[in-house]
Structure 1
């Protein structure tokens, strides 16, 4: 009796011959590189260390493109952005111990933002693992333990035969919704030892699908169709799932206003009559969402920023579609649907009855007018003018990457991304230094478009060394540095909380001269010339730096009522 699951693919004669006579001079590191190529990788990021040269040498014998950065955390940010732009798992090559640990902040951001990153680290020789010999350079008592609380999955290799399967399992994990970073560690001696194993070809790592349960989408569709005041919160899960088009059709079928979270920027058209935009740190918006009798939350865990600092208290029925099981109903009771945004929205489109609400666009206009009046009363023309200049200078479709800086906080609420997957920031985990190295990763992913990075002078110093990377690879990244002489947002927070700021002022370099020392053109601009200078830099191939000396202010907190 033959069962379908007993069927196997049999090698061709040519494949058998190749397997029996593998090319000489290969090592375990070649198995890593061959597996990555077989999985579909074309580019790897990283920084080689004492235990990593074997992989670097194997890359020389492959068609994979290597992009080396100057610091592991920055390499992680670049891989994060590459994964966001391409939807592929971005390999990140790291050395043992301190090199690996230096990537942790970047991997935390990738995890928070659901960016697929395949981190591959060397490890001390197998003789030192599990309580063996000690005292190896870079040795950690349990290196994998440092990553388990950060990444989606951890994969440890102990023999060369394990390499293809471990990498395929990690690749599959990274690309199964919710996307995220994964960790693979391979001992140094396993990487360096010669191998007689066949060349790796096309390992299977098809991501698992995450469809919704039909009885749940049927109930959700009924609730939405019968709602009097439905509303939608669209998060980063909509962008990661490439589901913006389905969201638009559902919102129009329901006449439901849509607000996008800071991680979901661009998931819904900014100028659409049903667009509430992204004013989530605004009490008027919070009140509007609380008043919805049915609130559909797609691809968001309703965390601190998306819930107006946990002041949001919905009064109606909440439906939450979320791929991350840990975020499902974690902050608010809901009809929880554990699913990727794309198939879940498709299921709703196939099920929900059309409803008409001619008053919905007027309610949206009224809400946005209240927000505009509140901002206008705070005398913040400089900040709005600067943000508008950036928007006008940035070509349509060009991606932007924002560091943790005051202008980015403005952009979260007030910047029109103009397209899904076009605006990215470090708001997932909230670590500084993200903007510039992430923009480099995006430029590697798509060299046909200019990329904008935005930092403050404090955050810029986290990644200033990557000017060398930008110059070395000729990457089309324009870096806008808003120089206010310190950690501006901390200065503002401390002044508000304590009446004065401490440890926020910085001695900083001449950023223009520093850029030029790397061979990167730089210009110092002002609010009146920012648009022209930025547009010129973005239109010029290769990297550039634009420095704007300005002290910007945040709009007043609005979660206090």
Structure 2
């Protein structure tokens, strides 16, 4: 049995269902071995970046490890953005990367780069396997590290000559990931800190969803009755109507909830990933912190931590829920919740039918089933989604807010649909991000995946235009001409429809949801 066969057997042993990538000369043996697998489907994509984004979203929704594959040189560097995205978003991902033969890695050589070093800053672990007898142990380690809290990316590099060697290496048993919990003394001290507070404020992050602690947190919130705000990626943990829901925090501008956070005498941060927004942006008053997370806090003057409850968030909350906690109902000054709802346009005004991204989002929110997965690309529309759109369930809104990479949404929708085939998927992208990975529509069509792409067409990088006008009074270098997206979609063999006003969009979306059997693109033509 050759090494490439062992690699595929190891992936099968780990329960892998999909490998996303592009085959190259250095990975031909892996392609040959994949072709013989009865358990793994190879998804050949149109660009390696798309493969990594697919693996990223597949991993975070399935809670299994997403796998992507590339060859050396430009194939590997094309993966890098998606690998870094998964690392900062804490998605479990492993990249399998071909490399030049060992005898080409010392002199200057065609297409050779030190991939291990390039990927080190963007991964939890980056390694090259040079001994056939270590393949199984390295792959088992890679899966363990990729899934271990906080999850992230791993890169494994295989020299071309290694893949064809014979070996008797076999897959290793898959062991469960160990879980740690804070000791009882820490938990009791944390409970005492909460009891002694008068105005606690909960800041909730995506770790709560990752660790399946939503029900426990909702129980805790309902007992405490204190205000709660979500990071971008944690939206949906509390329903829009919940009286404790103060919606979203972490905006660089117009973060309306910040004064309310500043009124608190204790911040309970639960599962918050610091990559989303640094504390100096939202804890300007340096309110004391009770830190509940899988990893220790990065303590600074804006994150003055009193107690750290480090370990499994679900079990931490289960422990707290067994203790008698006094309700701490308090309301930030100035009708803050109503002000947030008004400024973020969270409630739709029926009398206003202007064609804005906020009203487009209301149409989507009102039309889609509860379990719909909405994926946001990066741009001005992402900010609007983070403020305005209210998912009905946790983990159903995927926002790239760690690396915040444009081009994420279309390939991400493919990963989402493969991870959750029975759930509707909608991706929302700007015209800038759409064209970065538009070619993956062919991949989706070839796979027969039905989902909706909404392209916001305003012929500009709107966020950058707005920022430059605010700073300099004019913009430069951020406008462009677009193709006819609907016609371009038709050229890929999918349905493309244009919406020029809100009524058109609403009708098109409703019909698309009712008849969704393939990819449908809706071009939202915005007036500048």
TM-score normalised per structure 2: 0.92
Determine the structure 2 residue equivalent to 1:515.
Answer: 489
Determine the structure 1 residue equivalent to 2:60.
Answer: 84
Determine the structure 2 residue equivalent to 1:139.
Answer: 112
Segment drifting more, 92-101 vs 480-489: 92-101
Does the 8 Å CA contact 1:151/1:182 hold for their aligned counterparts?
yes
Does the 8 Å CA contact 1:230/1:293 hold for their aligned counterparts?
yes
Does the 8 Å CA contact 1:328/1:338 hold for their aligned counterparts?
no
Determine the structure 2 residue equivalent to 1:15.
Answer: none
Segment drifting more, 311-320 vs 168-177: 311-320
Task: Summarize the Cα distance change of 1:211–1:449 in structure 2 as closer, same or farther, 3 Å threshold.
Answer: same
Q: Deviations along 1:133-160, whole A, 9 cap, x unmatched? A: 542x3211x2101111111112321122
Does the 8 Å CA contact 1:224/1:254 hold for their aligned counterparts?
no
Q: 2:297, 2:84 → 1: CA distance?
A: 16
Paired residue secondary structure (2:502): coil
Determine the structure 1 residue equivalent to 2:148.
Answer: 176
Q: Deviations along 1:23-53, whole A, 9 cap, x unmatched? A: xxx3211111000001111221111122112
Superposition pairs of residues 82-481 of structure 1, within 5 angstroms: 82-129=58-105, 131=106, 133-135=107-109, 137-140=110-113, 142-193=114-165, 195-197=166-168, 200-201=170-171, 203-281=173-251, 282-302=254-274, 305=277, 307=279, 310=281, 312-325=283-296, 327=298, 332-334=303-305, 335-350=307-322, 352-357=323-328, 359-360=329-330, 363=332, 366-374=335-343, 382-481=356-455
Displacement, 1:475? 1.1
Determine the structure 1 residue equivalent to 2:504.
Answer: 529
Q: 1:106, 1:487 → 2: CA distance?
A: 21
Task: Summarize the Cα distance change of 1:244–1:330 in structure 2 as closer, same or farther, 3 Å threshold.
Answer: farther
Displacement, 1:510? 0.9
Task: Summarize the Cα distance change of 1:481–1:330 in structure 2 as closer, same or farther, 3 Å threshold.
Answer: farther
Q: Which runs of 5+ in 1 are unaligned?
A: 1-25, 553-561
Determine the structure 2 residue equivalent to 1:66.
Answer: 42
Task: Summarize the Cα distance change of 1:123–1:265 in structure 2 as closer, same or farther, 3 Å threshold.
Answer: same
Q: Deviations along 1:405-442, whole A, 9 cap, x unmatched? A: 22221111221111111001111111100111101101
Q: 1:413, 1:363 → 2: CA distance?
A: 19
Displacement, 1:544? 1.1
TM-score normalised per structure 1: 0.87
Displacement, 1:541? 1.1
Paired residue secondary structure (2:290): strand
Paired residue secondary structure (1:102): helix
Task: Summarize the Cα distance change of 1:192–1:551 in structure 2 as closer, same or farther, 3 Å threshold.
Answer: farther
Determine the structure 2 residue equivalent to 1:20.
Answer: none
RMSD of Structure 2 on Structure 1 (CA): 2.2
Task: Give the counterpart of 1:51 among 4, 15, 26.
Answer: 26
Does the 8 Å CA contact 2:187/2:319 hold for their aligned counterparts?
yes
Q: 1:503, 1:210 → 2: CA distance?
A: 50
Q: Deviations along 1:106-148, whole A, 9 cap, x unmatched? A: 111111111000111112112234x3x542x3211x2101111
Determine the structure 2 residue equivalent to 1:7.
Answer: none
